[in-house]
Amino acid sequence: MILAIILVILIGVPAVILATPALRRSLVTPHIFALFKRILPAMSDTERDALEAGTTWWDADLFSGRPDWNKFLKLPRPTLTAEEQSFLDHEVRHLCELVDDWEATQVWQGLPAPAWQYARDKGFLGMIIPKQYGGKAFSAYMHSQVVMQLSTRCSALAVQVMVPNSLGPAELLLHYGTEEQKNYYLPRLAAGTEIPCFALTSPYAGSDAAAIPDTGVVCMGRFEGRETLGLRITWNKRYITLGPIATLLGLAFRVVDPDGLLPAGSSTGITCALIPATHPGVVIGRRHWPLNAVFQNGPTSGDDVFIPMEWIIGGPGQIGKGWRMLMECLAAGRAISLPSASVGTAKLAVRGTSAYCAIRRQFKTSIGKFEGVQEALARMGGNLYMMDAARKLSALAVDLGEKPAVVSAIAKYHVTERGRAVVNDGMDILGGKGICMGPSNFLARAYQQIPIAITVEGANILTRCLIIFGQGAIRSHPYVLKEMRATANGDHRKALHDFDAAFFGHMRFVCANAARGLWYGLTGGATAPVPEQAAGDMAAYYRAIGRLSTAFALMTDVSMFVLGGELKRRERISARLGDALSQMYLISATLKRYEDDGRQQADAPYVHWSVRDALHKAQLALDGVLENFPNRPAAVLARLLVFPFGLPYAPPSDELGSAVANAMQTAGAGRERLLADGFLADDLRDPVACGELAFNLLPQVEAIEHRLKPAVRAGQLDAMPQSLPEMERWTTQAAAKGLVTPEERRALSDFARFTDLSVRVDDFPPDLNAAADADKRWRMAAQEAAVEA
């Protein structure tokens, strides 16, 4: 009897209170509400703007613990219109042909003028501008295709084209410009008569861009002969892409109004304006030298430069709204520019390296057959397949009208990091061929310049530690933003009511995830949902994401409850949670790509390799959180729930790695899908083109070699040689004995010639400076002669 009374008091009474909204709201919720308000981390306005900017998308499903695969796989396949496809096949290809990366980076230290002029004339700078203003109105996917293809030829070319189409004057005008501003500037930007840049970064405000010290003081001043209200701006910016050649400077600065000249109640703070580069006082024109990349980039400054109020983007009403504008527009560009450029670089690396692996022999064996090389090659192929899938999915999000804040940060960080890994592996495989600079080296510049993508548009360490999970935990989580909004509500009654709904919804969510997490842990996720149309051997991956998503959702809540505001400073914990989320996004993208491409069996090794690699990484990230979690009892309990029998996912096997490496070295539709829409020159001066020609002849050459083995063993014929002069002698010998047809002889000679061009490295006179000068003089004379002719 006493026990029953105790149980009623301990369990029954709280249960009745919690289950009765009116009782709960008056007895329990106010206390939790007060506690919540106390422990919520302090947030500045700029932090709030950054957190609330953009939209959530598939990231919200992954945060929910129950991703809706049927909805996901119904998303359309990214496609191009006929007009876009034609532009890609003709204008983009031609622009690639106008640039030679070695010449641009070594001889001219700049893009060739005809190429840049062509890009301007053909509308490359107005891809995001609507047709009514003379722009191309391309989809985000097309924009991504263009940047990707240009990157397979010359990264500087890609950067100069992508920047005007990314976060900058055009994008800001489209969203916030006055009609007058749009009508004046957009046609000029679309036609390439205005070259835009956008200057935010200051020497002492880099990652912490909201801390810019550049100031615009509201004052009266003279403009075009009249006295008018305006701003006296002083700025000092650096790293501004296109800055040295810009005609239109987009500028972010902080407005102050010491004399109270703005109407009462006006806001001040970060503001964006458009200033013609020729405006008196604008200092522009010097140049940085970012890792030998030749896109234009430099500092700009101004001292007490007066501009009228009409130059503020959106007019004076947008004073103080600049940070929100930038944060709202950041996602679209970030989802496209650097992911696309990195995929292009990776396609260049994979095309050149895989062909080289097949044709380059050491120890009488193609180097691509050695297990050690296959290991690196498999990483390159698996990473590229997944990077390209993530690029396409992120561009699709933008085309569907999203401003995907978290997804774009994931794409930016993980695609650029994997791009760096691909290039590093390529360099290791190429050996000395990758080391010696010159026109025959197709990878050295990519290797040199890949850190640029890591640094810009949110440096990667910061993106991983602060943005992906930090923003996701608030934006993509089903309840946290609702709870935060409720605590910020000035109407106490409504605040309590909303908080009650959000908080107790949150509690039910945590309990459901804990129960499901344990069930999945015990059953290996066997009952996790699989979409109706998923192919048989892929079903396990959908289940694995179901299991990981539940584990991730649970660990997110455990981390937030245990660490509270402290989580913001525990960057390594939030970075690892972000890693787990990111790997799930990358796997989703990969599975969708496989479905979109029609479940091509030739692609299955790439899918299996990249998904298993990412599952392994995701579980290691969660394991890292548990290992390092400051509250040990919470960590032990969470581990029991999510990994009761240890870590479930093994990395890709050696056998799978060999399947990927072999697929990469097999000519055909599978390899072409992996490298799709990259530029391939039709020019024997291009080392990648030579490698590809030799690679395509390889099956025929190997068949001849195989057929002639008995003749070699019988001493009728020497073993097939590698070098060009010996091959000439050998084919003559084989032809004289009637062992090869004239057509086979030609194929063998061509193979030896293309292989020779492909393995060749450059040498220069001892004085490299003098050699460079002589080379430049020679090329200039050749150009002049060509112009005269």
Nearer to ligand FAD, 459 or 770 (CB): 459
Nearer to ligand FAD, 465 or 752 (CB): 465
User: What's the DSSP call for residue 365?
Assistant: E
Report, in Å, the least distance between residue 329 CB and ligand FAD: 13
Which position has the token pair 């539709």?
669
- Residue from 190, 231, 240, 373 touching ligand FAD (CB under 6 A): that is 240
Report, in Å, the least distance between residue 421 CB and ligand FAD: 18
Is residue 453 near ligand FAD by the rule CB under 6 A?
Answer: no
Nearer to ligand FAD, 172 or 661 (CB): 172
Residue 634 neighbours by CB under 8 Å, 6+ apart = 558, 562
Is residue 239 near ligand FAD by the rule CB under 6 A?
Answer: yes
Nearer to ligand FAD, 80 or 209 (CB): 209
- Residue from 236, 455, 631, 700 touching ligand FAD (CB under 6 A): that is 455
Is residue 137 near ligand FAD by the rule CB under 6 A?
Answer: no
Would residue 199 be called left, alpha or beta, if left means φ above 0 and alpha means ψ between -120 and 50 degrees? beta
Interacting residues with ligand FAD between 599 and 638 (CB under 6 A): none
Would residue 572 be called left, alpha or beta, if left means φ above 0 and alpha means ψ between -120 and 50 degrees? alpha
- Residue from 241, 345, 366, 582 touching ligand FAD (CB under 6 A): that is 241
Nearer to ligand FAD, 538 or 573 (CB): 573
Is residue 211 near ligand FAD by the rule CB under 6 A?
Answer: no
Residue 67 neighbours by CB under 8 Å, 6+ apart = 58, 61, 545, 546, 549, 584, 588
Residue 528 neighbours by CB under 8 Å, 6+ apart = 520, 542, 543, 544, 545, 546, 547, 550
Interacting residues with ligand FAD between 718 and 747 (CB under 6 A): none
Nearer to ligand FAD, 421 or 735 (CB): 421
> What tokens does 728 get?
């000439």
Is residue 158 near ligand FAD by the rule CB under 6 A?
Answer: no
- Residue from 436, 461, 667, 712 touching ligand FAD (CB under 6 A): that is 461
Is residue 206 near ligand FAD by the rule CB under 6 A?
Answer: yes
Binding mask 53-82 for ligand FAD (x = CB under 6 A): ------------------------------
For residue 253, give the 3-state DSSP assignment: strand
Is residue 466 near ligand FAD by the rule CB under 6 A?
Answer: yes
- Residue from 99, 200, 331, 694 touching ligand FAD (CB under 6 A): that is 200
Is residue 199 near ligand FAD by the rule CB under 6 A?
Answer: yes
Asked if residue 561 lies in contact with residue 455, where contact means CB atoms within 8 angstroms, the answer is no
Report, in Å, the least distance between residue 209 CB and ligand FAD: 7
Q: Are strands 215-223 and 248-256 parallel, antiparallel or unpaired?
A: parallel
Binding mask 675-704 for ligand FAD (x = CB under 6 A): ------------------------------
Q: Which of 91, 402, 417, 457 is catalytic?
A: 457
Report, in Å, the least distance between residue 288 CB and ligand FAD: 7
Phi and psi, residue 456, nearest 5°:
-85, 170
The region of 456-464, 502-510, 525-533, 643-651 touching ligand FAD under the rule CB under 6 A is 456-464
Q: Which of 219, 177, 211, 223 is nearest to 196 (CA)?
A: 177
Is residue 444 near ligand FAD by the rule CB under 6 A?
Answer: no
Q: Is 457 assigned a catalytic role?
A: yes
User: What's the DSSP call for residue 9?
Assistant: I
Distances (CA, A) of 704 to 357, 665, 699, 726: 20, 18, 9, 17
List residues bridging with 232 in a β-sheet. 217, 306
Number of residues engaging ligand FAD in binding (CB under 6 A) = 22
Asked if residue 185 lies in contact with residue 169, where contact means CB atoms within 8 angstroms, the answer is yes
Which position has the token pair 């700078």?
125
Report, in Å, the least distance between residue 199 CB and ligand FAD: 5
Nearer to ligand FAD, 398 or 456 (CB): 456
Asked if residue 272 lies in contact with residue 313, where contact means CB atoms within 8 angstroms, the answer is yes
Interacting residues with ligand FAD between 295 and 354 (CB under 6 A): 297
Phi and psi, residue 664, nearest 5°:
-65, -25
Residue 294 neighbours by CB under 8 Å, 6+ apart = 104, 105, 108, 109, 110, 111, 156
b/e string for 481-495 if b means 16 or more Cβ within 10 A? bbbbebbeeeeeeeb
User: What's the DSSP call for residue 536?
Assistant: G
State the Cα–Cα distance between residues 306 and 302, nearest whole angstrom: 10
Q: Are strands 283-284 and 248-256 parallel, antiparallel or unpaired?
A: unpaired
User: What's the DSSP call for residue 458?
Assistant: S
Report, in Å, the least distance between residue 141 CB and ligand FAD: 24
> What tokens does 335 get?
């989802």
Residue nearest to ligand FAD (CB): 206
Is residue 456 near ligand FAD by the rule CB under 6 A?
Answer: yes
Is residue 198 near ligand FAD by the rule CB under 6 A?
Answer: yes
The region of 145-153, 234-242, 277-285, 500-508 touching ligand FAD under the rule CB under 6 A is 234-242
DSSP count for the chain of H helices, then E strands: 35, 9
Amino acid at 618: A
Which residues are annotated as catalytic? 457
Chain residues binding ligand FAD by CB under 6 A are 197-201, 206-207, 239-241, 290, 297, 452, 455-457, 459, 461-462, 465-466, 571
